[in-house]
Amino acid sequence: MITIDKLTKYYGSNRAVNNISFTINDNEILGFLGPNGAGKSTTMNMIAGYLPMTAGTVTIFGSDISKDPVAAKKNIGYLPEIPPVYPEMRVKEYLSFCAGLKRIRSSERKSEIIRVMKLLKIEDVQDKLIKNLSKGYKQRVGFAQALLGNPKFLILDEPTVGLDPNQVIEVRNIIKDLKKEHSVIFSSHILSEVSAVCDRVVIINKGDIKAVDTIENLEKKLGGSLTLHVKIKGDRIKASNVIEFIDGVDEIVSIDAEGNDFFSFAVKLKEDAGDDTKNAIMSELIGHGIQISEIYTEKPDLEAVFVDMINRSSDKHGLLELLEETPPEAEDGADSESDESEEKEGEE
């Protein structure tokens, strides 16, 4: 088990990682999710023992990374964001050097190198100079390096960046297979990837942990409620008044204007709401003379969870705030939408 406890990193007076704690269990793939610049790579560098931490501890299978680095690092395979390859070396030479660095017994080195090359399908480039390889191949060579010696704990920093869709699927499958014998922490800013591969997710933003949970739980936590999308033609304020007072509607999450008189509403429904609410909204809207061009309900997905989590502090809730953001047409229709009105005048 890997324990990360109260890990903090300051760059000068800038706080990059703030007091984060989580654990990675044996045979688990933990997704590490966050937007760019959230502190993912910094955290991973600290876990791998490359960057010293300002405060906190990282314990890898019982050895503290800062107190007993050599013992801790023996259990780590690390693929940094930029694959750490020497452009002047051949793939096989490079892997053999890495095997030496990781103190793999010389009798086992050859078979070990062949094993990882097979796993990542880089046997056909083994005699090429790394500088002549494509980004995807370099990435896979870097990955192969991390797998050498079969370390129990793998740290993969965006391992699928730069790969083509086929390779992405291959690499994901490799990561899934790794679960049998390894603990994996795997960072990404791509949501679908994390939900495809990981058991649990840590969501981080601006150095703070926003959530640590399984994907299903996160989806549930968001309310487990459906979101109803409805696209209407007609008066926006009238429509929103209608929608808001229907049973089963929790709140209107967003209203987007889409061209002439078309508005898309995203409506959060209450947990027990279902098709009845949808039907009620449809009939009420039509009853008020508002045309509906599109209506469908959507389950909350990881993306919604993610966006919600990272924006939590600056989130806008409720219709009032939304209306404040976009002033009613009655007041400024003449000014801000002057382009439109000019066109209309021209037509007339």
Partner 1 sequence: MFSIYKKELQSFFYTPFAYVITALFMFLFTIMFNNALGNLEQPVLQFTFPDIFYNVIFFFIFLIPILTMRTFADERKFGTEVLLMTSPVGVIQIILGKYLANLTVFLFMIAGSSFFPIFTYLNGTLVMSQLICAYIGFFAWGAMFIALGMLISSFTENSIIAAIIGEIIMFVFLFIDDFSRTDFIMQYPKLQSFLYAFAAQPRFAYFSQGFIRLSDLVFFLSAILICLSWNYIAIERRRWKRG
Binding site residues, partner 1, CB under 8 A: 11-12, 14, 16, 42, 45, 48-52, 69-71, 73-74, 76, 78, 80, 82-89, 93, 97-98, 100-103, 145
- Tell me the CB-side half-sphere exposure of residue 112, using CA atoms within 13 A: 21
We find the least distance from the C-beta atom of residue 89 to partner 1, in angstroms, to be 7
CB 165 within 8 A of CB 189: no
User: Cα separation of 233 and 320, whole Å?
Assistant: 21
Q: Closest approach of Cβ 122 to partner 1, in Å?
A: 17
Helix (H) or strand (E) holding 296, with range, is: strand 291-298
- Cβ nearer to partner 1, comparing 75 with 240: 75
Whole-angstrom Cα distance, residue 155 to residue 23?
A: 13
In terms of CB distance, is 94 or 263 closer to partner 1? Answer: 94
**Least distance CB 142 / partner 1 (angstroms):** 9
34 or 49, CB closer to partner 1?
49
22 vs 153, beta carbon nearer partner 1: 153
8-state DSSP, 53? P
> Shortest distance, CB of residue 151 to partner 1, whole angstroms?
10
Would you tell me how many other CB atoms lie within 10 Å of the CB of residue 35?
15
E runs forming strands in 70-207: 76-79, 153-157, 183-188, 200-205
Query: In terms of CB distance, is 14 or 260 closer to partner 1?
Result: 14
Which H helix or E strand runs over 194?
A: helix 191-197
Least distance between partner 1 and beta carbon 83 (Å): 8
φ and ψ of 183, to 5 deg: -100, 135
> Least CB distance from residue 74 to partner 1, whole Å?
5
Select 145 or 160, whichever has its Cβ closest to partner 1: 145
CB nearer to partner 1: pick between 16 and 215: 16
Least distance to partner 1, CB of residue 30, Å: 18
Residue 40 to residue 309: CA distance in whole angstroms: 16
Q: Coil, strand or helix: which one is 229?
A: strand
What amino acid is encoded at 262 in this protein? F
CA 150 – CA 181 distance, rounded (Å): 9
